[in-house]
A and B are shown apart, each in its own frame.
Chain A
Amino acid sequence: MKHTISVQLRNKPGVLSRVTGLFSGRGFNIESLCVAETMDSELSVLTIVSRGDAAIIEQITKQLHKLIDVIKVTDMAELPYVEREMVLLRMKAVETTRAEVLRIADIFRAKVIDVSSKTFTIEVTGSSSKVNACIELLRPLGIKEIVRTGTVAMARAPKK
């Protein structure tokens, strides 16, 4: 099963390589990985999407926690959370397809951020499933290039 894991860690050189080394060394899978500084410049948050049964995910979270520079590990499956991913798509935009590309982009509330005579560059933001749905609809119209950020996630704030 797919799991989104949020890892708070010390913002120091080599920390990312400790995390990725752990995944490659133990044969854990990484579907996406996204890392940046937080409000506190001494800390980073890394969002990692991985796949595995309960035992593997348990090992992943425990092994992550064992890293000296890791402060907190949260498996998002354990609580309500929101997640977003951004994708940049370079679309073929010839006369016959231009209108259709724009229409689909509009449905997904995607933005055109760059235009040339033969292409549109579109920014799509949303959960992975929404982004994937958009890509699938655009694919027959001719995608020239895709760049994805990977997922970032945050636990929902308590309601009260």
Chain B
Amino acid sequence: MKKVTGAEAIIKCLKEEGVSTIFGYPGGAITDLYDALMDADLKNIIVRHEQGAVHAADGYARVTGDVGVALLTSGPGATNGVTGIATAYCDSIPIVVLTGQVPRALIGNDAFQEVDIVGITRPCTKHNYLVGSAEELVPTLREAFHIARSGRPGPVLVDLPKDIITAKFDYPAKKAMTMPSYQPNTDPHPRQVEKACKAIMRAKCPVLYVGGGVILANAQDDLIELTRKLGIPVTMTLMGLGAFPGTDPLSMGMLGMHGSFCANMAVAECDLLIAVGARFDDRVTGKLSDFATKAKVIHIDVDPTSISKNVRVDIPIVADCRNALKAINIWFDTQPGINIEEEKACHQPWFETIQKWTEQHPMTWHDDESGIIKPQYVIEKLNELTGGDAIITTEVGQNQMWTAQFFKFNKARHLVTSGGLGTMGFGLPAAIGAQCAFPEKTVIDIAGDGSIQMNIQELATARQYNLPIKVAILNNNYLGMVRQWQELFYNRRYFATPMEVLPDFIDLAKAYGAVGLRATKKSEVEPVIKEALSTRNVVLMDFRIAREENVYPMVPAGKATTEMLLV
């Protein structure tokens, strides 16, 4: 048998794992791997900063459901990737990050571009490896992909010493994966399913509270089936948007700090809270002691640590969300003596109560005659002119919240946003990953004037690979979300938040060979979006929006979610 080099083995293994695209940036320790990649049948996207490579791999994974791959060099290459890895970790996104490392003989010697990246990333990866020998290389990579995509997904880092990349050895045949210490539980316990179903039968005012776990498990169809079957209203976390159609009458939109009035009221008043693939994050619960106090709680999650971590759970179901929802649907379909229509009808008064809350305080914003652009208007226009079918990435802050509130996501994997970590600079590189996965789709990064600058260098990457990403900058000349807090809770002391110097985004777009468009009046918004959407190039749209527009509703930090500041 012909021996392979470590680099060839890595490429072969990546292909076996179904990888087609690698997001990366070269450097000394991985030059041998890039040398081999030149002749390999894999698409390489070379970014402008390693953080961008990891976010792009992450964006690719979020829209496809496949494992995204990033390749970085040792030392600063690897440390630049850490924010990307932590971002993926917080949102449970399956990525494999390969980092170069100095030769084994030099490890621990403070060699040039040496860093203990396995040590650094231990708390922000699902697992990580330093490959200790050439024999371990391929089995380790196989384990890495298995861990990244199974159970609760997450990032896995594999550190590759240079001498292993150049070593020659026999390529090991594929064997069945045996990991006795890693056996995620994906099938629901039938007794727990039955308990949950009976609780659902008893409930008069149930609420489904769904998170990113539903999307990660591709369980949206099963969720829709359950919801429609029993007429249970649904609220989604930021990560869950798209798991249930945002335009469906049963959708209450997002809950929590910037959630809808009806969603927060419904959670406060419900008698049964069915949490699916969500983790009771502080942005969702607000003051814990006042959260869903009247409700029995069912919690479906593949990760047992999420259960009863923040909120006491009455009926836990540790399982893959899809398997659990399927089991619940089957129970209702096959249980003798159940009249589904009657079950559904008994939720009708509750649904009417929710509708009243919606009428009382709908998700809305104040328009006026001034012609000044309101950011919510831009989002609504983007939604309308793309038919709600675009993949939307966001940065972090007001831009992200307005997107969550006013873009109606009807399909899973169409919103790509950094939820858990809240990473500014995520949207543009994530859009690169999304556009690589779906070259024909419209991909829009909804940004703020602050966060777009955090990874703006990736405009060059988008241009280089002809990725016609559209960037919609909601430009208020402020770090708007922090300014909003300063306005509401810090006596309007606007310190550190004004963007006193901004680049001219039109000129900047030109400098990158992209197209720059600007709207300063409401009437210009629609023509700008239309022009952008019909341009087969990277387009930067600079929307000069009302400077002090706030995101409402808002639950002040530490308050109960029923104590909302409203429009």
Contacts and interface: CB of A to CB of B under 8 A. Distances in A.
Contacts of A69: 181
A21 interface: yes
A98 interface: no
Interface string A89-107: 0000000000000000000
Given A62-B304, A62-B305, A68-B127, A10 B181 contact: yes
Given A59-B309, A63-B305, A65-B304, A18 B181 contact: no
A71 B180 contact: yes
A66 B147 CA distance: 12
B308 A58 contact: yes
A5 to B, nearest CB: 15
26 contacts: A9-B181, A13-B130, A13-B132, A14-B118, A14-B119, A14-B122, A14-B130, A17-B119, A17-B122, A18-B122, A21-B122, A25-B123, A55-B308, A58-B308, A59-B305, A59-B309, A63-B305, A66-B304, A66-B305, A68-B127, A68-B179, A68-B181, A69-B181, A70-B181, A71-B180, A71-B181
A24 B182 CA distance: 23
A68 B123 contact: no
Contacts, number: 36
Interface in A25-61: 25, 55, 58-59
Interface of B: 118-119, 122-123, 126-127, 130, 132, 147, 179-182, 303-305, 308-309
Nearest to A71: B181
Contact of A66 (B123, B180, B303): B303
B68 to A, nearest CB: 20
A70 B181 CA distance: 6
Contacts of B127: 68
A18 B179 CA distance: 18
What are the 10 closest A-B residue pairs judged by CB atoms, nearest first?
A68-B127, A62-B305, A71-B181, A25-B123, A68-B182, A62-B304, A63-B305, A21-B122, A66-B305, A21-B123
A22 B122 CA distance: 9
B152 to A, nearest CB: 9
Nearest to B129: A14
Contacts of A21: 122-123
A102 to B, nearest CB: 48
Contacts of A18: 122
Nearest to A22: B123
User: Taking each of B123, B126, B132, which has the highest tally of chain A beta carbons within 10 Å of its own beta carbon?
Assistant: B123
Interface string A123-140: 000000000000000000
A95 B130 CA distance: 58
Contacts of B180: 71
Contacts of B182: 68
Contacts of A65: 304
A59 B313 CA distance: 13
Contacts of A71: 180-181
A18 B147 CA distance: 16
A63 B308 CA distance: 12
Among A14, A17, A21, the one with the most B-chain Cβ atoms within 10 Å of its Cβ is A14
A68 B305 contact: no
Contacts of B123: 21-22, 25
Nearest to B156: A68
Nearest to A24: B123
A25 B119 CA distance: 13
Contact of A68 (B126, B130, B132, B303): B126
A58 B23 CA distance: 39
Given A17-B119, A21-B122, A21-B123, A68 B308 contact: no
Nearest to A69: B181
A65 B185 CA distance: 12
Contacts of B132: 13
Contacts of A70: 181
Contacts of A22: 123
A65 to B, nearest CB: 7
B99 to A, nearest CB: 15
A13 B305 CA distance: 25
Contacts of B147: 68
A10 B130 CA distance: 15
A22 to B, nearest CB: 8
